[in-house]
């Protein structure tokens, strides 16, 4: 986690496969009020909330009910989406001093900078969904049970550890 000169948390980046294993928001993340959902080359969504951690969870859970396009996108692209990155940020970080650390202006700045695929408001030219992913109108490929999703995420993390160990 990065922090600015005032020791306030600024940014946390975690893969979806680790994020969904967290039941509660770590206390050091509670002041993070902006988030992006991305892969290594594209930003899919930018959002803001008093506690970004819980808002990202709402997207994932609402994907099953088709109430969140980005949540549905994660579920339709399972298991590839396990490697998407959830980035939680603070509007109070130095990065957003130019917009006077205003939460709504910080979100707008991130949208303009990243041109996310699923943000339409304040984004006159959204990036296209990369061709290697299915659109959110596709069939959900993730398990319908959060318990099963978590099991698959745990297995993916264990496989990552095994690969890392074998390379050493």
Q: Where are the domains of the chain?
A: 2-167
Q: State the residue for tokens 């959110």.
A: 136
Asked if pLDDT for residue 159 goes beyond 80, the answer is yes
Write down the pLDDT at residue 9: 61
Q: How far, in Å, CA of 83 to CA of 76, rounded? A: 14
Q: State the residue for tokens 């050091």.
A: 28
Rounded to 10 degrees, the C-alpha dihedral 63/69/75/77 comes to 180
Quote the Cα angle for 76-82-86, to 5°. Answer: 105
When pLDDT is averaged across residues 150-156 and rounded to a whole number, the result is 97
Give phi and psi for 37, each to the nearest 5. -120, 125
What mean pLDDT is reported for the chain? 93
Asked if pLDDT for residue 2 goes beyond 80, the answer is no
pLDDT tens readout for residues 51-104: 999 999 999 999 988 899 999 999 999 999 999 999 999 999 999 999 999 999
Query: Which pLDDT band holds residue 150 (cuts at 50, 70, 90)?
Result: very high
What Å distances lie between residue 128 and 42, 47, 114, 133, CA to CA? 9, 18, 12, 11
pLDDT tens readout for residues 32-54: 999 999 999 999 999 999 999 99
For residue 62, the surrounding DSSP H or E stretch is helix 52-63
Write down the pLDDT at residue 132: 97
What Å distances lie between residue 40 and 36, 43, 51, 95, CA to CA? 12, 8, 24, 20
Give phi and psi for 44, each to the nearest 5. -90, -35
Quote the Cα angle for 103-25-135, to 5°. Answer: 70
Quote the Cα angle for 120-71-50, to 5°. Answer: 75
Comparing 98-102, 156-160, 162-166, the range with the smallest average pLDDT is 162-166
Asked if pLDDT for residue 4 goes beyond 50, the answer is no
Asked if pLDDT for residue 1 goes beyond 60, the answer is no
Rounded to 10 degrees, the C-alpha dihedral 81/82/84/89 comes to 130
Percent of residues, the chain, with pLDDT higher than 70:
95
Write down the pLDDT at residue 69: 96
Write down the pLDDT at residue 116: 98
């Amino acid at each position: 986690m990065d922090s600015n000169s005032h020791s306030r948390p600024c940014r946390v980046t975690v893969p979806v496969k680790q994020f969904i294993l967290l039941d509660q928001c770590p206390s050091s993340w509670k002041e993070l009020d902006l988030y992006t959902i991305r892969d290594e080359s594209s930003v899919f969504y930018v959002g803001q909330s008093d506690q970004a951690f819980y808002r990202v969870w709402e997207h994932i859970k609402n994907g099953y009910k088709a109430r969140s396009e980005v949540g549905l996108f994660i579920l339709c692209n399972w298991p590839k989406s396990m490697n998407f990155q959830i980035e939680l940020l603070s509007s109070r970080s130095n990065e957003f001093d130019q917009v006077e650390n205003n939460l709504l202006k910080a979100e707008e700045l991130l949208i303009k900078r990243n041109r996310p695929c699923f943000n339409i408001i304040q984004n006159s030219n959204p990036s296209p969904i990369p061709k290697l992913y299915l659109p959110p109108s596709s069939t959900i490929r993730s398990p319908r049970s959060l318990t099963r999703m978590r099991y698959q995420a745990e297995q993916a993390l264990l496989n990552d550890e095994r690969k890392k160990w074998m390379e050493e």
